[in-house]
């Protein structure tokens, strides 16, 4: 049996950490306006894992906004240094999105898609070779 890939990372100060094991469900860039506002950047690079594959350690605080699908979008940041670290509510949601900039080894991020490209600012170009969706991918 081959060793499963481990993804570790956390916030700037080190108080909020995570470990994810196995294959990501999806990975890409989200250019939605909420991701722009909450990150102060042009997009958020995300990696999706089933909730059971991720463990979190440390105190997080949440921000909540209305998601594109009408539900609640939860973003988690470190309670101490306020780095934005992951999406979805621990213990409640079926999967989590880890924000790729928080990986200890950012080279583990292999994006496949660009979503909400319709709201992308012109100064945040989409890398070549990605599947581009104006909004949510149709099967999500």
In the complex, the residues that contact Zn ion under the rule CB under 5 A are 11, 13, 15, 30, 32, 35, 78, 80-81
DSSP letters of 62-125? EEEEE-TTSSEEEEEEETTT--EEEES-TTTSSEEEEEGGGBSSGGG----EEE-GGG--TTSP
Closest to Zn ion by CB, 5 vs 124, is 124
In whole angstroms, how close is the CB of 50 to Zn ion at the nearest point? 20
Burial class (CB in 10 A: 0-12, 13-18, 19+), 129: exposed
In the complex with Zn ion, the residue whose CB is nearer, 54 or 73, is: 73
Instruction: Please classify residue 110 by burial: count the beta carbons closer than 10 Å to its beta carbon, then call 0-12 exposed, 13-18 middle and 19+ buried.
Output: exposed
Element (H, E) at 21: strand 17-21
* Closest distance of CB 16 from Zn ion, Å: 5
Q: Could you tell me the smallest distance in angstroms from the CB atom of residue 91 to Zn ion?
A: 20
User: Residue 15 or 25: which CB sits closer to Zn ion?
Assistant: 15
Q: Would you say 69 or 110 has its CB closer to Zn ion? A: 69
Q: Cβ closer to Zn ion: 15 or 22?
A: 15
Q: How far is the CB of 35 from Zn ion (least distance, A)?
A: 3
Q: Minimum CB separation from Zn ion for residue 15, in Å? A: 4
CA–CA separation, 108 and 117 (whole Å): 23
Which tokens go with 64?
A: 């909540």
């Amino acid at each position: 049996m081959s060793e499963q890939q481990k993804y570790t990372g956390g916030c700037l100060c080190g108080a909020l950490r995570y470990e994810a094991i196995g294959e990501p469900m999806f990975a890409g860039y989200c250019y939605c306006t909420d991701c722009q506002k909450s990150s102060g950047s042009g997009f958020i690079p995300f990696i999706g894992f089933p909730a059971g594959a991720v463990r979190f350690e440390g105190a997080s605080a949440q921000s909540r906004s209305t998601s594109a699908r009408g539900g609640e979008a939860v973003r988690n940041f470190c309670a101490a240094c306020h780095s934005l670290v992951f999406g979805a509510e621990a213990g409640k949601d079926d999967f989590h999105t880890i924000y790729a900039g928080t990986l200890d080894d950012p080279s583990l991020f292999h994006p496949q898609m660009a979503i909400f490209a319709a709201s992308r600012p012109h100064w945040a170009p989409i890398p070549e070779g990605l599947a581009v969706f104006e909004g949510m991918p149709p099967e999500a």
